[in-house]
Amino acid sequence: MAVPVTIPYVRYSIRGAHWFAGRALKELVAGSGLDKARIDGLCFSSFTLGPDTAVGLTQHLGLSPRWLDHIPMGGASGIVALRRAARAVQAGDAAIVACIAADTNHPDTFRRTSANFSVFARDAVYPYGAGGANASFALLTAHYMRCYGARAEDFGRICVAQRANAASFPHALLRKPMTLEDYLGARPIAEPLRLFDCVMPCAGAEALLVMREALAEAQGLPHARILATIERHNAFADDPIQTRGGWAEDRDALYGQAGIGPGDIAFLETYDDYPVMTMMQIEDLGFCGKGEGPDFVRRHDLTAGGSFPLNTSGGQLSVGQAGAAGAYLGLTEAVRQLTGRPLGRAVRDAAFGMVSGFGMINYDRGLCSGAAILARARTA
């Protein structure tokens, strides 16, 4: 994994998703020093590219890849793209895969995305108050709090720590310092969620290149290695309400592939669309037991310099959620940390990092989960 790219986020843009994709590809080409024609694989994600898919993007941007994938998996798109791209490179189907997620945001984009997010959402969720994802996660959060004794302050600790991380991250849209009092005093959105539990929709793009390590070395590109990855869809379908994600089913395989344990992970980049999901990811990825998340965040300093560095860029909660690009935010940040080139504050002794993804509240729960363990380059 090399050349992590972020196209700076803006709250609203008059540009289309194609513009953000084009900027991202240009930065990949410029950052790698490679000719555009050498990019022979493309893996793309977006909510707002319609009616185009990755196919249309090849003509739009003048690419002729021999391997192409379009991944509509929301917050799991980044991890899944990484898996697909790495397998394509491993199998020889492509040598250099550009993984890009790009989305625009117009004033009415978010409402229209919510109203037509899925067939089940349109038929059986949106007519009930039209609260969008906020309402769905309010239900999961309320239930989690009741079952495991989490308090608003515990979620607040996650949000406040991420805001502190965002202070030094140049692309974060929300960098104003936030205290726990600010968090608790914010207006209610969908009880128990308050304003700062919710991400801010925006426009932007994230991208990186996937290639063999030898090629990255030959090109002189700073890079990180993929040690292990997992993905799972529609896990635990019989649970009455979501208290865990597919990570709980696959984490042993993840650590097994990597040959390391949770204690070796220097930092964790979760898919932080809402703090309750971050707490579930901390639990399900083995950093503590189920239901111990609230206690875990009370015991740890979650800032980049703390005892458990979490979402070191500030995460989507502070950087903003640029549609599907939110799924890549942890990946680009992890590559920067592992190559010693963070845009914000560096995590000390970062040899291994973990990134996890979570996506698609199709009806009453998020269906897609994934995670990757990444390592510093051998030569670094």
Partner 1 sequence: MSTPLPRPRRKNPILRTRLPTLPPGMRSRFALGLTAAAARGRLELQHCSDCGAVQYPAREACHRCLSDRLAWRPVADAGELIADTRIHVSQELFFRERVPWRMGLVRLDCGANVIAHVHRDCPAAPTRVRVLNALDRAGQAVLTALPEEGDATMADDPQLRELTCDPRDRRILVTDGKTAVGQAVIDRLVEAGAEIVWVGYSEPWKKFPGFDRLESIPQVTLMPLDVTDPVSVRELAREIGFKTDILVNTAEYHRAYGIAQRAGTEVARAEMDVNYFGLLRLAQEFGPVMRGRGADGQNSAVAWVNLLSIFALANYPPHGTFSASKAAAHSLAQCLRAEMQPAGVRVINVFPGPIDDEWNQLILPPKLAPAALAAAIVKALRESVEDVYPGDIAQDWFARWRDNPKALERELVANP
| Interacting span for partner 1 (CB under 8 A) from 68-76, 191-199, 213-221, 322-330 | 191-199
Q: In angstroms, what is the minimal distance from the CB of 62 to partner 1?
A: 37
184 binds partner 1 (CB under 8 A): no
Nearest partner of 96 among 153, 196, 152, 29, judged by Cα: 29
DSSP-derived letter for residue 201 is B
Q: Which two tokens stand for residue 167?
A: 């202070």
Q: In angstroms, what is the minimal distance from the CB of 177 to partner 1?
A: 24
Q: Which two tokens stand for residue 133?
A: 């994802």
126 binds partner 1 (CB under 8 A): yes
Cα 347 to Cα 218, 265, 337, 362: the distances in Å are: 27, 11, 7, 35
Are 107 and 203 in contact, with CB atoms under 8 Å apart?
A: no
Binding mask 62-101 for partner 1 (x = CB under 8 A): ----------------------------------------
Q: In angstroms, what is the minimal distance from the CB of 234 to partner 1?
A: 10
Q: In angstroms, what is the minimal distance from the CB of 104 to partner 1?
A: 18
Are 207 and 24 in contact, with CB atoms under 8 Å apart?
A: yes
Looking at the Cβ atoms of 214 and 237, the one nearer to partner 1 is 237
Gap between the Cα atoms of 341 and 205, Å rounded: 19
For 69, list phi and psi in degrees, rounded to 5: -145, 145
260 pairs with which residues across the strands?
none
131 binds partner 1 (CB under 8 A): yes
Sign, CA torsion 276/196/371/46: positive
| Per-residue burial over 69-91, b = 16 or more CB atoms within 10 Å of its CB, e = otherwise | bbbbbbbbbbbbbbbbbbebbee
Looking at the Cβ atoms of 135 and 260, the one nearer to partner 1 is 135
127 binds partner 1 (CB under 8 A): yes
The correct pick among 55, 120, 220, 289 for binding partner 1 (CB under 8 A) is 120
49 binds partner 1 (CB under 8 A): no
Looking at the Cβ atoms of 121 and 350, the one nearer to partner 1 is 121
Residue 33 CB-half CA count within 13 A = 8
Site for partner 1 in 340-369 (CB under 8 A): 363-364
Gap between the Cα atoms of 159 and 180, Å rounded: 8
Q: In angstroms, what is the minimal distance from the CB of 28 to partner 1?
A: 35
Q: In angstroms, what is the minimal distance from the CB of 105 to partner 1?
A: 14
262 binds partner 1 (CB under 8 A): no
Gap between the Cα atoms of 211 and 216, Å rounded: 7
Q: Which two tokens stand for residue 346?
A: 């560096």
134 binds partner 1 (CB under 8 A): yes
| Interacting span for partner 1 (CB under 8 A) from 117-125, 201-209, 282-290, 292-300 | 117-125
| Interacting span for partner 1 (CB under 8 A) from 3-11, 89-97, 149-157, 187-195 | 187-195
130 binds partner 1 (CB under 8 A): yes
One-letter amino acid for residue 166 of the chain:
A
Residues that bind partner 1 (CB under 8 A): 110-111, 114-116, 119-120, 122-132, 134-135, 138-140, 142-143, 146, 187-193, 240-241, 363-364
